[in-house]
Structure formats: C-alpha cells, structure tokens
A and B are shown apart, each in its own frame.
Chain A
Amino acid sequence: MLKLDKLVKTYNTGDQALKSVELEIPQGQVLALIGPSGAGKSTLIRCINRLVEPTSGKVYLDGIELTTLGSGALRRERRRMGMIFQEYALVERLTVMENVLSGRLGYVGFWRSFLRRFPQSDVDNAYRLLDRVGLVHMADKRADELSGGQRQRVGICRALIQDPALLLVDEPTASLDPKTSRQIMRLIVELCSERGLAAIINIHDVALAKMFVQRIVGLESGAIVFDGVPDDLTPDMLTHIYGEEDWEATIEKVEDEEQEAAQ
C-alpha cells in the first residue's frame, strides 16, 4: 500500500540523506527501520508525508502519487498518515483532549477547530482512544503535566484519531526509560494489528525492534543495506549497518532481561 520509488533527498548543504531508496510495504505490515544516527531514518519518513520535500523519486500511497500533490490534496492524504514523534511533539499548553482532537484538524473546518466545536463523534472517538491507552482520567490535564510515557500515549491517540491507514513513527522510545519503551512499542504494535495499520517505526534500539516486529530494514548512509526478518539480522549484518561492536553481548543481555521479566 506504500511504495517508495527511487526516493532521493539532498539537503541544501549538499548532504545526501537518501540515495535512491526503494521500499514497498503491504497492507497491515509493521516495519522497523534501524540504522545509526544520521543514516536518514527521520528524513525517510518525513519525505513520505512531505514534512521534508524529497529531491526526486516517487511515493505512492494506495496508488496515489504524493510528491506532486498540491497543498489541498496533500493535506487530504496526510490525514491518512498518522505520525508519532520522538519528543512526543504534543502542544504543551493545550489539554490532553485538545491534543488528541488536533488529530482531526484535517477533517474539520477552521472555525469549528478554532472554537473547539468538534463533532460529537470525534469527541466520543477521542474518549474511546484515551480509554484504550489508559489515560481517560487525564483528558482535561494540560499536556505538560504528563510523564513521558503518558505523553507518548497521547501522541499515539492523536495519530490514531486521524483514522490513518499508515503510521509513521519516529523514534517513539528514544526519550523513554527501558520499561516504558517496551510498553509503548507493544502498544503501537498491538494497535496496528487491531486496526490493520501499516507502520514504519524508526528505532535505533535493535533489540527492541527484534522483539516486536516481523520485518526489519537497515538504513546506512541513506541506502537500504538490509531488508528481512529479525532472525536474519546477524551480528555481521549489524556490524555492516552500525560499525564494529560486540553485538552478541548486548543482544543476549536484553533477551535475558525479557525472560526474567516474564518469569
């Protein structure tokens, strides 16, 4: 349902962040995009919803080519792509409810959104989503009163209330502690399977990625160097993506922890 065709992004500084990336994601597949900092992971997902304009190449979402859309059509397509951010990117001074409802901005006219008169169905939906992530009692709190994990749950609600077909998830756990990270990853993966959503999850925690997804794509210096199931991601492959490091040790350790937690 999502297809990237020879996607290239060269920044004005001359840095080539993406070098002709080809990627195809079927309906409902959750994919983890791994790679070192600066590999172009953030640029890749931002080129899909055009928060960053790609230099060349094409992006197809259910057959619609996104890179040439005008601003109105682009906004309509953005509604179908929910985005979740590293630093949550909630509007800090708005309430949790307002933040969730802001996911409906693409569907609601200016004055209705300005006066916060969202359709009742949207409000019902927002309460359902907040209930699903366990935050319904926080609805009227201001976003900056919440903890990191709670904020990220609100961020997830904001993305889901868009009724998207695809989630673009940018380092969802980078600002969270290890336990909360797993909870958030589990929540994202569960919600995707409940709703049949495809997702691209940028993540630099390889162990976490292997734990939760069926397909991993490795990005290095703007090019895809690995695409396969987690089991194929051998230490040799990781060395190719990230550089020399003792991979067995770090990965085994995390798996041990998980087993301990399960006991």
Chain B
Amino acid sequence: MVTHTQPDGSLKWTRRTTGERMVRWFGWLVGVAVFVYAWNTISQATTWFFVWDAPRIAGDIFGRATPPRWSYIDKLWGPIWDTLNIATLGTIISLFLAVPVAFLAARNTTPSKMFIRPIALLIIVSTRSINSLIWALLLIAIIGPGVFAGIVAIAIRSIGFCAKLLYEAIEEINETQVEAITATGGSRWQVMVYGIVPQILPAFAGIAVFRWDINIRESTVLGLVGAGGIGLQLSASLNVLAWPQVTLILLVILVAVVIGEWVSAKVRGAII
C-alpha cells in the first residue's frame, strides 16, 4: 500500500512498492524453476511403460472385479459390525482420556503452565503424530491380534485429536461467565461445571461425532495388519486376487462410511 506524489501534485496509489514487486517476481521465478527440476527428477525415476499401460491394466482389473460377488455378504456382517464397534468404543474411550488432557492443556484451566501444560501438549502431539495403523501394529505385538488391539489403537490415536480441538474450545470461552460463577463463591470444580462446561458442551459433542466419523474410516483398514474388523477380509481377498469379493467389501465400507457421515452431520446439525 503505497501512495506516491506525482510531479503534477496528484496522488498515485499502488498496491506494492517497486521493491516488493521485484521480490514477488523473483519468488515466482524460483517456484517455476523448482517445479521444472522436480518434474524432471520424477520423470527419470518413473518407468513410463507401466504408466502408459495403466489404463489397460485398470480396465482388466475392473473387468475381473465386476460384478461383485454378492453371496459373500454373509461373511461380512460380522466383520463390519466389529469395525463399527472398534470405531465407537475407541472413540468413547478416547473421549474419557481426552477431556482431562484438554483441561490440563488449556491455558485458562491448566493448574501449571510451566510443568503440566507441556506434558499435556506432549501427550496430544505424540498420540496425534502416529497413524492408527502403526499404533495397531505396535499393540498387536503387545496384546496380540484381534478387535481389542484395534479398539485401543483407535482410542490412543484419537486422544490427541479430540484433546486439541477441545482445549482450543476451552481457551475460547467467555471469561465473564466464569467470573460471574467465581463471584458467587463457587469452588473451583463448581466453576468448571457451571461456568466452563456449558460453554464447551456443543464443541464437545461436535468433536465426538466428528472423530467417530473419522474412526469408522480408519477402523476399516485396521484389519490389514490383523487388528480386527472388515480389513481382515479385505486383505485376505486381495491376497488370493478374489476381485469380486474386494469390490463387495469396498462397497460395504462405502455404505458404512456414508451412514457414519450422515449420522454425524445430523447430530452436529442438531447441536448447533
């Protein structure tokens, strides 16, 4: 935003100074150069024959995969039920763990900004940064394969996500409502229950169904590593190249995810 005075006395306004324009032009130049360089590198590392061949192979697989083997559905009811349970129980457990972590992490409710808050933030970052598939691999090694490992993997993975969103909601509350409850002579816990909780309840419910929705999708793949659910059938079918079964499994997952999204959208709509 620069205003110049012209020789004839009139004012001329431009968005950027000449220096800023040069910097931006140079930035674009560097960007294009990097893009061209990266394109060349990738190109050299690619076997282009396979890429040109891809449409034919994809068509071939599609041909083998259709129609889906509908009769296989009888074997999928159990696993898809397991998958939904993994997602639901995992979400519930993670919420129980995430609520205290969020209160310890929020600047306005943490007992100690120096010691406890960093620990809470560390829990949030560490649980969030590891994918649930990797948590599942670790947990299968520790507690053995099965649904339980899947539940725990989902629960751990979700703590960070839920706690982070929740502590941001806690930090955004209206402090005068908290002040008002404090002024009545309420104790620390009463202030929390009356002054803070009602303000974050909508956010909490929204986070819970949002995470449940994500967890349905995540739990469908946990079976790939042996942590229960429909992923187990998926990996078995892929291994024996039973493409019509794979198609049916993908359709079942699609339906489950769509239902999950529909429910979470309805619940969030009802709260807000």
Interface residues of A (CB under 8 A from B): 49, 51, 75-79, 81, 83, 85, 87, 89-94, 98, 102-107, 110, 113-114, 155, 158, 162, 168
Contacts and interface: CB of A to CB of B under 8 A. Distances in A.
B184 interface: yes
Interface of B: 174, 176-177, 179-187, 189-190, 193-195, 198-199, 201-202
Contacts of B186: 75, 102, 105-106, 113
A110 B189 contact: yes
Nearest to A86: B176
A107 B183 CA distance: 13
A105 B194 contact: yes
B52 to A, nearest CB: 60
A75 B187 contact: yes
A92 B183 contact: no
9 contacts: A75-B187, A76-B185, A89-B180, A93-B199, A94-B194, A105-B185, A105-B194, A106-B186, A158-B184
A81 B183 contact: yes
B93 to A, nearest CB: 23
Contact of A85 (B176, B189, B190, B193): B176
A112 to B, nearest CB: 10
Contacts of A158: 180, 184
A106 B199 contact: no
B198 A93 contact: yes
A49 B183 contact: yes
Contacts of A76: 185
A153 B236 CA distance: 68
A156 to B, nearest CB: 12
A94 B190 contact: no
A158 B182 CA distance: 12
Nearest to B193: A114
A79 B181 CA distance: 11
Contacts of A114: 190, 193
A158 B187 CA distance: 16
B185 A78 contact: yes
B193 A78 contact: no
B187 A110 contact: yes
A92 B177 contact: yes
Given A85-B176, A113-B186, 18 more contacts: A51-B182, A78-B182, A78-B183, A87-B176, A92-B177, A92-B198, A92-B199, A93-B199, A93-B201, A98-B194, A102-B186, A103-B184, A105-B181, A105-B184, A105-B186, A105-B194, A110-B190, A158-B184
Contacts of B201: 93
A102 B189 CA distance: 13
A213 to B, nearest CB: 22
Contacts of A83: 180, 183-184
B51 to A, nearest CB: 56
User: Which of B183, B189, B190 is most buried by chain A, counting CB atoms within 10 A of its CB?
Assistant: B183
Contacts of B199: 91-93
A102 B181 contact: yes
A106 B185 contact: yes
A98 B181 CA distance: 12
User: Which of A81, A103, A162 is most buried by chain B, counting CB atoms within 10 A of its CB?
Assistant: A103
A77 B181 CA distance: 14
B176 A79 contact: no
A78 B177 contact: no
- Please provide the 4 A-B residue pairs with the shortest distance between their CB atoms, ordered closest to farther: A106-B185, A105-B186, A89-B180, A78-B185
Contacts of B187: 75, 105, 110
Contacts of A155: 180
Contacts of A75: 185-187
